Structure 1
Amino acid sequence: MIGRRVQQLRTQRGMTQRQLAEPAYTPAYISTLEAGRVRASDEALRHIAGRLGVAYEELAVGRPAHLATDLRFRLTEAQRVLADGRAEEAAVQYEELRTEAETHGLDRVQAGALLGLGECSLETGELARARRFFERAEAHLAQESLPTRVPAVRGRAVSHYLAGELRYAVYLLESTLDELNRGGLHDPDALLLLYASVIGPYMDMGAHARAAQAAEFALALAPRAGDPALIARMHRSVARTLIAEGRVAEADASLAKAAELYRQLQLRTELANCHWMRGYVCAQNGALGRAEAELRQAYAMLSESRAALYRSQAAVELADVLHRRGKSEEAAVLLEGVLGDLSSERGAVHAAAAHRLLGIIAEDARDTEAAEEHYVRALSLLERAGAAGDLADLCRLLGDLLRRAGRIDAALDAYRTGLGHRTTPGTTTLGPAPAQPPL
């Protein structure tokens, strides 16, 4: 391979073997090198590289000088494009980078490009495709340390979580946390990324105690982490546990910190998600006017960035606030418009929330049949996803509806189902919580 490269570069420059060899070597030596009959020493290669006017690395391994550095710089540029909400444009850049890295055997860069492609697919709601990219990235990093593989594992877990596979998402995150902590691999960024990511699935499963503990660990790890975007994501996740505990002012302060970091970093989609969560906090606190303004801003920003799945999820939260403000017709139109983007395989928890709210709106309009249909569909979605956190309340709504319709036995069945979910605390497939980090 080296002989062929030497011959190709010499021919391109119009040099003879004698011109290339002088003054340190003979034309015969260059001839045998080009024919592949001799292995050149490092000293000979440096001489030949100097005569050809190329870097030693390019001649020795066929890789242009500074290529790896250039590709890493372009990875950063692609990340900025994605952060600006231009996922499709970023995906084109990541694919070009992946192809170049594959050509030159740069596994780490190739893994980085695959991670970027996975994040782009999450942004556009293509969850199965995202999962495949994260799996390929993890395969390229198979020989690396576990902390290096954590972003790929987290990506896989998030794609399963958004698809409604809560238990498996928690299994991935918990088992990785356990391996990191028990193995003494206490990388602050890796641990913070995992703890911030597991809070959402915990909350949806009704495992509030574990969510609060994960938030506590995340807050303790934050001062040691070096990635501002990761710290902002952590503040956003921790806000969910604070809301559940009724600590609304603290949740709002946590989101304010996250929003400020996102503005400084110009992370548009993450900033939109922050407005979304602040709208939710305001709604929980009864400030419906401010909640509507925050959620409308989030919805508009996510629509501009074509973040289809996140936009649909934000629309469900906005519709809930609109309904509570007496704008039920607008809420119903908004929900019907986004239900096509949500399903049991794509945003299951928010699809269930949309059906639940449409059921309440139908019940207010005295359309009992439509209300029951929506409640049953929501129940099916939540049971399939394992989202115990919302099941008990939904069973109560369905039971009340059936009782008012005179269907007492069916109402009792609905209440019993709800009580079963209420009396069984949210758990995960692993049983005991993962090992704790040394704090």
Structure 2
Amino acid sequence: MPERDDPETIGRRVQQLRAQRGLTQRQLAEPAYTPAYISTVEAGRVRASDEALRHIAGRLGVAYEELTTGRPAHLATDLRLRLTDAQRTLATGEARIAAETYATLLKEAEEYGLVAEQAAALLGLGECGLDTGDLTAALRYFERAERALGDAPLPARVPALRGRVVAHYLAGELRYACYLLESTLDELNRGGLHDPDALLLLYSSAIAPYMDLGAHARAAQAAELALALAPQVQDPALVARMHRQVARTLIAEGRTAEADASLAKAAELYRQLQIRTELANCHWMRGYLYAQNGDLARAESELREARTMLAARRAALYNSQVTVELADVLHRRGRSEEATALLHEVLGDLSPERGAVHAAAAHRLLGIIAEDAKDTETAEEHYVRAMSLLERAGAAGDLADLCRLLGDLLRRTGRVEAALDAYRTGLGHRTAPGTTTLGPAPAQPPL
């Protein structure tokens, strides 16, 4: 976007403001310029210098920025301040309130052609969509934000791209989510764009889709790389609050440039608050690895830490995934009643359209718990519900495993033909092209 409007637009604005104030061209020109010069400026026949436009703005009683861009004085600064307020609101979990603010700010930013502020508002609306489970709207906002930032360097576009990834993942489009992540990581690392915030967002966002695809080695590697990057990203909440308050003081004193700088720092810090969700995913991954190695006490500790971090963000869909994993650990530690209570809590927060993969995981585990309690009828009901959810989500690896569990249950209860059908269904999903393998691993950052 140009720093100022074209000469014709500025000329019309000068003429309109002069007429509104009842000034002649001579009065506007004196003492530094001639009426003829003002006439050529108003006609758009000359590109006036900054010095001349500052003189004219002063005589008209408006800010230079308002004269040259048509935007009210300090509009961009005010928008940035309100954007950081909305980010703070979202960070505290008030997604619906934040969404209303972001929508208002987006309209204002579009009206005055403020591209960076448009992108920030679109990102905020996308994050609100993720928090409330409106994945279709979230994806639409993230795509618009990415288009708005089309000319920006790749690290600046990563938050929008990561938002798209999460929306696709939560909608059950696992392989496409992995493709977006890996192609972006490759571009960053091979191109030498080693931005810690961008890399941390991408690696930690890869953990969940890798796990659901059965790519456990890649999930573990992504978690370790994310945790190695984490020390370079500090907890921003208190510092962001300080910058917001400083900005308010600077605005009151008319120190716009300094206020803008302070608001930019606050906005970046509030954006990093979203990284707390990604770090929680790393704790979840560690808990999973401990559980696989039989260290259930450490697994429970890591998963509870992840759950606490996610609850503070009110990230319901992420929290559900960790809760299912924690319930599995509790069941293996002999605390099945506690595990069952957690799983029913999860199912109360989910639906087939919102978190189908996580709901299926909860039903699967409830089926296993029922089988262990010799309640085969309840176990079968949970397995069948889980199959229906996984078929809708396209999580082929999980579906194949569930078909094996159901087939084993049916065989043990004497229904051999039904068991064979379940096994055949599972084998069909397991051997479907492209469902169990990924392409080459992306390049790694120098750590």
Would the TM-score normalized by the shorter structure come out above 0.5?
yes
Q: Is the 8 A contact 1:68 1:106 kept in 2?
A: yes
Q: 1:222 Cα shift?
A: 1.1
Deviation at 1:83? 1.9
The one-letter amino acid of 2:340's match is: V
| Residue in structure 1 matching 2:287, options 243, 248, 255 | 243
Structure 2 residue 248 is the aligned partner of structure 1 residue 221: no
State the alpha-carbon separation in 2 of the partners of residues 70 and 257 from structure 1: 38
Listed as ranges, the gaps of 5+ residues in structure 1 are: 293-319, 325-330
Structure 2 segments unaligned to the other structure (5+ residues): 1-8, 237-272
Deviation of 1:431 after TM superposition, in Å, equals: 1.4
- Identify which range, 281-290 or 349-358, moves more after superposition: 281-290
Q: Deviations over 1:63-101 (max 9, x none)?
A: 233322222221111011112222221111111111111
Match of 2:62 in 1: 54
With over 3 angstroms needed to count, the CA separation of the structure-2 counterparts of 1:156 and 1:174, relative to structure 1, is same
Q: Which has the higher contact order (CA 8 A, sep 6+)?
A: 1
Q: Residue 136 in 1 paired to residue 144 in 2?
A: yes
What's the CA shift for 1:428?
6.4
Contact map agreement 1:98 1:110 (CA 8 A) in 2 = yes
The corresponding residue for 1:195 is: 203
Following the alignment from structure 2 to structure 1, what is the Cα–Cα distance between the partners of residues 31 and 41?
Answer: 16
Deviations along 1:31-66, one digit per CA (max 9) or x if unpaired, are 332233433222211111121222222211222333
Contact 1:196 / 1:237 at 8 angstroms: preserved in 2?
yes
Matched with 1:321 is: 340
Q: Aligned AA for 1:39?
A: R
Identity, % of aligned positions? 67
**Which deviates further from its counterpart, 189-198 or 56-65?**
56-65
Say if 1:232 and 1:258, in contact at 8 Å, map to a contact too: no
Alignment partners' CA distance in 1, 2:144 and 2:49: 37
Give me the whole-angstrom Cα distance separating, in 1, the residues matched to 2:10 and 2:334.
70
**More divergent stretch after superposition (71-80 vs 184-193):** 71-80
Going from structure 1 to structure 2, the CA distance change for 1:273 and 1:169 (only over 3 Å counts) comes to closer
- Structure 2: which amino acid aligns with 1:76? T
Work out whether residues 410 and 419 of structure 2, in 8 Å CA contact, stay in contact via their aligned partners in 1: yes
1:104–1:181 Cα change, 3 Å = same
Deviation at 1:145, TM superposition (A): 0.7
1:284 to 322, 325, 329: 329
2:307/2:323 contact within 8 Å kept: no
Q: CA deviation at 1:391?
A: 3.7
RMSD over equivalenced CA pairs, Å:
3.7
Q: Which residue of 2 aligns with 1:414?
A: 422
Which residue in the other structure is 2:129 paired with?
121
Q: Does 1:387 align with 2:431?
A: no
Which AA in structure 2 matches 1:322? A
Structure 2 residue aligned with 1:398: 406
- What amino acid is the match of 1:60? T
- Return the offset for 1:376: 3.3
Q: Select the residue among 43, 64, 69 that pairs with 2:51.
A: 43
Greater shift in the superposed pair: 19-28 or 252-261: 252-261
1:40-119 pair list within 5 angstroms: 40-119=48-127
2:167 is aligned with 1:159: yes
Counterpart contact for 1:205–1:389, Cα < 8 Å: yes
> Counterparts of 2:96 and 2:334 in 1: how far apart (Å)?
34
What does 1:300-379 align with in structure 2 at a 5 Å threshold? 320-322=339-341, 331=344, 341-343=350-352, 345-356=353-364, 368=377, 372=380, 374-379=382-387
8 Å contact kept, 2:210–2:218: yes
Mapped pair 1:232 → 2:276:
yes
Structure-2 separation of matches of 1:398 and 1:279: 19
Q: Deviations over 1:188-229 (max 9, x none)?
A: 100000011110111122211111000110111112235643
Pair 362,217 (structure 1): closer, same or farther in 2 beyond 3 Å:
closer
Q: Which moved more, 1:103-112 or 1:399-408?
A: 399-408
